[in-house]
């Protein structure tokens, strides 16, 4: 691993994302020894005028419930705060000065200096912040090192706006310096997909249109927009979840075997999947909006924004022609769950009448309670010769007792420090993702497609279940 001084700069340090996700992830990395106090300094930057200690006490509550905790106190001592606006040379000059002082004090004549800028900011300020960093805060060490930026969605609202943002950032930073986070790529079972698919003989010959009937990728939340109505209404469930999180999962499920595990090889294969997608058909989309969504004062009374969507995506290639990929995402539903369901075709020439028991299905549950299970048909134990559906079950909690599964952000931040872009979205990937959804999103934005109301706490509109059945999904039994 590289050594030398590491400065992590959290821009938007007083905001929600920073407090709830970024600082806790940094703390966990620190606690596990991935951030060494003799090398690392963390800088918070935001407009609010507060002291170092005020920032520290704001963060403290998100790190540990214990009042006295040495690790927390040590970690907080690594944090300094600089205030300034997002478009002023003055603020960023002060920030650069603080970083440089730290570099001089810790460095290390022999070490290089590394600067990681984490944007916990609204994307509207990305271009100006990038300009400021480029003008005032780049790593200047002669001894090497780097400057990297970490950004998070929303990357635009459609193809044109995303491309505009990409060019603005791309004029200032090279692709290897830009880390576009999609936190689903940091989830344990999403990272497992590559191993599962390409290291198991079981799956290799079956993973195609000859054997698989349909694939569902599902995200459900049992709560609504909860104070984020203003943001959400601008974007809706397709931009918030499907175009990024679920589509990334789909790429890993559908892609061909990469040449190697090099980030570029993996990302090349993902892009090919996206580029092979057929346009989404209106008749294969069901939109919903939960009743009560518009009671949020920040949501307009006539909002047409979907909080639920089910749709069929189709990949036009040799492996997947004719296999529907059913994407389903919704807020305020009956449960919180994210899973991938791979449903196999019926067994030909069935002598057991198994179809009545259900098809083979392979389920990967991303959350909660990570698990993988295979639904298969076995003989009903007992004197009779009858078939019944059962499960081969790998539940992480049981199998890996005592193993703490890292938070997605923790893992991804560590990757940014290590310079591993495998789990980050490349610019051409982002563009291809927007190409798929932009026509549909424009039709929804223009009011040409309307969401169907559904009751909070329900399964969403019944029309979505019909779409699922029409796409070929057969309800199985058991879990
Ligand atoms: C975010 C969305 O990207 O992902 C939220 O903006 C959503 O609306 C969240 O709640 C879900 O993440 P997770 O990790 O809890 O499934």
Pairing of strands 178-181, 145-152: parallel
Helix crossing, 427-445 with 159-170: angle to 10°? 150
> How far apart (Å, rounded) are the C-alpha atoms in residues 118 and 64?
22
> How far apart (Å, rounded) are the C-alpha atoms in residues 244 and 239?
7
Q: Containing H/E element for 59?
A: helix 52-63
Torsion angle of C-alpha atoms 123, 129, 131, 135, degrees rounded to 10: -160
Atom of ligand 1 nearest to the CA of 228: 8
> What is the reported pLDDT for 327?
98
**Site of tokens 């970490």:** 150
Q: Are 64 and 94 in contact (CB under 8 A)?
A: no
Give pLDDT tens digits for 209-256: 999 999 999 999 999 998 888 899 999 999 999 999 999 999 999 999
What DSSP character marks residue 457? T
Cα of 208 from ligand 1 centre, angstroms: 30
Find the residues whose C-beta lies inside 6 A of ligand 1: 183, 221, 240, 338
Q: Are 252 and 416 in contact (CB under 8 A)?
A: no
> How far apart (Å, rounded) are the C-alpha atoms in residues 425 and 447?
30
Nearest Cα residue to atom 10 of ligand 1: 221
Token pair for 237: 């469930």
Atom of ligand 1 nearest to the CA of 219: 16
pTM score of the predicted model: 0.95
**Site of tokens 């991804």:** 412
* Pocket-testing residue among 183, 187, 293, 336, ligand 1, by greatest number of atoms within 8 A of Cβ: 183
> What is the reported pLDDT for 356?
67
> What is the reported pLDDT for 477?
65
> What is the reported pLDDT for 254?
98
> What is the reported pLDDT for 229?
87
Alpha helices (H) along 171-324: 188-198, 229-237, 247-254, 263-275
Long-range contacts of 293-299 (CB under 8 A, 24+ apart): 293/224, 293/225, 293/229, 293/332, 296/225, 296/227, 296/229, 296/230, 297/229, 298/229, 298/230, 298/233, 299/225, 299/229, 299/230, 299/232, 299/233
Atom of ligand 1 nearest to the CA of 187: 14
Token pair for 349: 């020439």
- Which residues of the chain fall below pLDDT 70? 1, 107-111, 354-357, 477-479
Which of 59, 109, 82, 106 has its CA nearest to residue 9? 82
* Pocket-testing residue among 240, 242, 293, ligand 1, by greatest number of atoms within 8 A of Cβ: 240
Cα of 12 from ligand 1 centre, angstroms: 19
Cα of 55 from ligand 1 centre, angstroms: 25
Write the CB contacts of 165 (distance below 8 Å, at least 6 apart in sequence).
123, 126, 127, 155, 156
Q: Are 277 and 316 in contact (CB under 8 A)?
A: yes
Catalytic residue annotation: 245
Cα of 139 from ligand 1 centre, angstroms: 33
* Pocket-testing residue among 241, 246, 331, 412, ligand 1, by greatest number of atoms within 8 A of Cβ: 241
Cα of 442 from ligand 1 centre, angstroms: 23
> What is the reported pLDDT for 354?
66
Nearest Cα residue to atom 2 of ligand 1: 240
Q: Containing H/E element for 77?
A: helix 70-77
Write the CB contacts of 379 (distance below 8 Å, at least 6 apart in sequence).
385, 386, 387, 388
């Amino acid at each position: 691993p590289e050594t030398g001084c590491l400065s992590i700069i959290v821009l938007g340090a007083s905001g929600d994302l920073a407090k709830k996700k970024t600082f806790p992830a940094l703390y966990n990395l620190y606690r596990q020894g991935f951030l060494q106090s003799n090398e690392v300094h963390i800088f918070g930057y935001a407009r609010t005028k507060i002291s170092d200690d005020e920032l520290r006490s704001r963060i403290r509550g998100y790190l540990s419930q214990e009042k006295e905790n040495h690790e927390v106190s040590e970690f907080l001592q690594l944090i300094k705060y600089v205030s300034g606006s997002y478009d002023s040379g003055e603020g960023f000059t002060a920030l650069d000065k603080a970083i440089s002082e730290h570099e001089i004090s810790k460095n290390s004549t022999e070490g290089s200096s590394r600067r990681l800028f984490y944007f916990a900011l609204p994307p509207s300020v990305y271009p100006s912040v990038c300009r400021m960093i480029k003008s005032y805060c780049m790593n200047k060490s002669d001894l090497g090192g780097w400057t990297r930026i970490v950004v998070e969605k929303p990357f635009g609202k459609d193809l044109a706006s995303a491309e505009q943002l990409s060019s603005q950032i791309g004029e200032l930073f090279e692709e290897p310096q830009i880390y576009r986070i999609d936190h689903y790529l940091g989830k344990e079972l999403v990272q497992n997909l590559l191993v599962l698919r390409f290291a198991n003989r079981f799956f290799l010959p079956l993973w195609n249109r000859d054997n698989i009937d349909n694939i569902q990728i599902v995200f459900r939340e049992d709560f609504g927009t909860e104070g984020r109505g203003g943001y959400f209404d601008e974007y809706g469930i397709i931009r918030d979840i499907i175009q990024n999180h679920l589509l990334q999962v789909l790429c890993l499920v559908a892609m061909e075997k990469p040449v190697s595990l090099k980030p570029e090889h993996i990302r090349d294969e993902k892009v090919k999947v996206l580029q092979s997608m057929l346009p989404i058909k209106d008749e294969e989309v069901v939109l919903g909006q939960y009743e009560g969504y518009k009671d949020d004062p920040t949501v307009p009374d006539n909002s047409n924004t979907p909080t639920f969507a089910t749709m069929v995506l189709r990949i036009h290639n040799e492996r997947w022609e004719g296999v529907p990929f059913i994407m389903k995402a919704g807020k305020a539903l009956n449960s919180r769950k994210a899973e991938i369901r791979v449903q196999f075709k019926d067994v030909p020439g069935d002598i057991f009448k198994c179809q009545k028991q259900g098809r083979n299905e392979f389920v990967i549950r991303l959350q909660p309670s990570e698990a993988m299970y295979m639904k298969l048909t076995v003989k009903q134990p007992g004197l009779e010769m009858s078939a019944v559906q059962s499960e081969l079950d790998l539940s992480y909690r049981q199998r890996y007792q005592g193993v703490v599964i890292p938070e997605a952000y923790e893992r991804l931040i560590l990757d940014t420090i290590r310079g591993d872009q495998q789990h980050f979205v490349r610019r051409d990937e982002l563009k291809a993702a927007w190409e798929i959804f932009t026509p549909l999103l424009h039709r929804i934005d223009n009011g040409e497609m309307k969401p169907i109301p559904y009751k909070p706490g329900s399964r969403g509109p019944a029309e979505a279940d019909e779409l699922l059945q029409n796409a070929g999904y057969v309800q199985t039994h058991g879990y």
